[in-house]
Amino acid sequence: MLQTLLFMLKYTREEICERDTCKLDFKKVKALINEKLLSQMSNYNPSGPRDGQFKVYQKLRWLNANLPKFDEGALEEHSLILSKIYQWVQQGLNVR
């Protein structure tokens, strides 16, 4: 879920994954969870055309396939914050 969120916000694989893989590196991601990330989320606009070049893993088809399917009730019981992030990512992908 975090990987999909960060790729939606145009972070690169090198910024969030282990070297030469697509496996999330939590040490790197931990450093990215800050005010800048929250600002990017609040400024994210899923509507309209996209400018610039996108890597394969930043495209909608890949993002949808990468987002795990969770039982939202169980996820909310586990962590309200993760539940809200999951809902935000899902809605962003659905609108897009």
- The pLDDT value recorded for residue 51 is 78
Cite the DSSP H helix spans in the chain: 2-8, 13-16, 26-32, 35-43, 60-66, 72-78, 80-95
- The pLDDT value recorded for residue 50 is 77
Using alpha carbons, select from 50, 69, 72 the residue that is nearest to residue 59.
50
Residue 59 CB coordination number (10 Å): 12
Q: 21: buried, middle or exposed (CB in 10 Å: 19+, 13-18, 0-12)? A: exposed
- The pLDDT value recorded for residue 96 is 82
Binned average pLDDT, 10 residues per bin, the chain of 96 residues = 94 94 94 95 86 86 93 93 94 90
**d(Cα 92, Cα 96) in Å, to the nearest integer?**
6
- The pLDDT value recorded for residue 54 is 86
